[in-house]
Amino acid sequence: MTRTVFAGGQVFDGTGADPAAGDVAVQDGRIVEVGSGLDGDEVVDCTGATLLPGLFDCHVHVSVSEINMMHRLFKPFSYQFFEAAQNLRKTLELGITTVRDAGGADLGIKQAVDDGLIAGPRMQISVNAISQTGGHGDAWLPSSHCVPLFTPHPGRPATVVDGPDEMRKIARTLMRAGAEVLKVHTTGGVLSPGDDPRHSQFTPEELAVLVTEATAQGKYVMAHAQGAEGIKNAIRAGIRSIEHGIYLDDEAIDLMLRNGTWLVPTLVAPINVIRAGKAGAALPEVVVRKAEEVAGIHAESVRKAAAAGVRIAMGTDAAVGPHGTNLEELPLMAACGMSPAQVLTATTSSAAQLLGYDNDLGKLAPGYRADVVVVAGDAYDLDGLKDNVREVWKDGVRVV
């Protein structure tokens, strides 16, 4: 097989160490050598560039392109699958070669990427997010109409449930449909007009059943969790990652440290809700108001968590904001006190560890899959990173 060498650049290997001069040799879809003066059959000149491992976004919704309810209501049902293909391509062009879809993408979308029918990052999917009646994922409106963000279909079951027995059933149903991770709402949220982000949803007994079912099949649970009590319920139940974490308090941070729980901040999400409201999107006034109320609190919570040493992985809630703008999250993480090296680690090896891919992805090291991003200039220029992505390689093949 052809041996390709990325030569003459700086290497950020994903371990958190600063970039250093070096070459990366790739063969048969894997990294085979990292060092100096390497030779190969083909050479990619990386002079003046930095090599990064393929990036991760641990919280996306690729089957949704916007939060404007009226626009979504007038799109044909199947339109979402074509949008997903476009959204995946936009994400890949940023150097993001792996995503975790937090609701919406079904097994068909994932398989289309795996089989090469469409270009995109490899995907870990949750299929649909679990909500209690009246909870963050319940699409019932005061008019008595129901407008779900993820319309149920044969590959994406409805997921509003109540009680341990229904929780057990939906966990098994989602895994049958191809879910590799289970997503649950343990608090209210910003985009749901009828609930409060600070209020808890689902009982500890219901959450315990969910974690038990996931664990039995070698899978884990991620929790949309914004209020402190709902965050703590999720951590105590053994849920692996807290998504958003807006109202983290000291007890929650301590629990996360003791349990090794991950935080996926999605700092850009409330900012994108505010932007959408100002742009005239059909959003209830209460939704925009909630986003404005939480944005500063959110940043302060992430700042405290980062300072305490909570494990952090990058995620954006893409769909709340436009796909293809995912890298806006990185300077927001830096503004919360994370160094550029810490931000890039959260977007590479730490994210791979969260998703369970750390033996294969997230580092530029021998034996790892050859996901390589060539960035012009300084990779620590987080604000300019999107425009500086020059080439993207996935499994040793140039895809961008």
| 15-52 confidence digits (pLDDT tens) | 999 999 999 999 999 999 999 999 999 999 999 999 99
220 and 155 within one domain:
yes
253 and 341 assigned to the same domain: yes
pLDDT tens for the 400 residues of the chain, in order = 899 999 999 999 999 999 999 999 999 999 999 999 999 999 999 999 999 999 999 999 999 999 888 888 899 999 999 999 999 999 999 999 999 999 999 999 999 999 999 999 999 999 999 999 999 999 888 888 888 889 999 999 999 999 999 999 999 999 999 999 999 999 999 999 889 999 999 999 999 999 999 999 999 999 999 999 999 999 999 999 999 999 999 999 999 999 999 999 999 999 999 999 999 998 889 999 999 999 999 999 999 999 999 999 999 999 999 999 999 999 999 999 999 999 999 999 999 999 999 999 999 999 999 999 999 999 999 999 999 999 999 999 999 9
Angle between helices 228-237 and 250-259 (to 10 degrees): 20
Looking at the fold, whether 39 and 153 belong to one and the same domain comes out as no
CATH number of the domain within which 187 lies: 3.20.20.140
Residues 334 and 387 grouped into a single domain = no
- 7 and 101, same domain (yes or no): no
Q: What is the pLDDT of residue 1?
A: 82
Tell me, yes or no, whether 167 and 273 share the same domain.
Answer: yes
Tally of domains in the chain: 2
Model pLDDT, residue 63: 97
CA-to-CA distance for 340 and 345, rounded, in angstroms? 8
Range of the domain at 42: 3-53+362-398
One domain, residues 238 and 160? yes
pLDDT score at 141: 81
Same domain membership, residue 14 and residue 122: no
Asked if residues 234 and 263 have their Cβ atoms less than 8 Å apart, the reply is no
Domain check: are 248 and 217 in the same one?
Answer: yes
Judged by DSSP in three states, 214 sits in: helix
Do 265 and 136 lie in one domain? The reply is yes
Question: Per DSSP, what are the bridge partners of residue 57?
Answer: 99
Q: Report phi then psi at 287, rounded to 5.
A: -65, -50
Domain CATH for 12: 2.30.40.10
- Give the long-range contacts of residues 29-37, CB within 8 A, separation 24 or more: 29/369, 29/370, 29/395, 29/396, 29/397, 30/367, 30/368, 30/369, 30/370, 30/396, 31/364, 31/365, 31/366, 31/367, 31/368, 31/369, 31/370, 32/3, 32/366, 33/366, 34/364, 34/365, 34/366
pLDDT of residue 126: 98
- Does 88 lie in the same domain as 134? yes
| pLDDT of res. 370 | 98
Looking at the structure, tell me whether residues 379 and 271 fall in a common domain. no
116-170: per-residue pLDDT in tens? 999 999 999 999 999 999 999 998 888 888 888 899 999 999 999 999 999 999 9
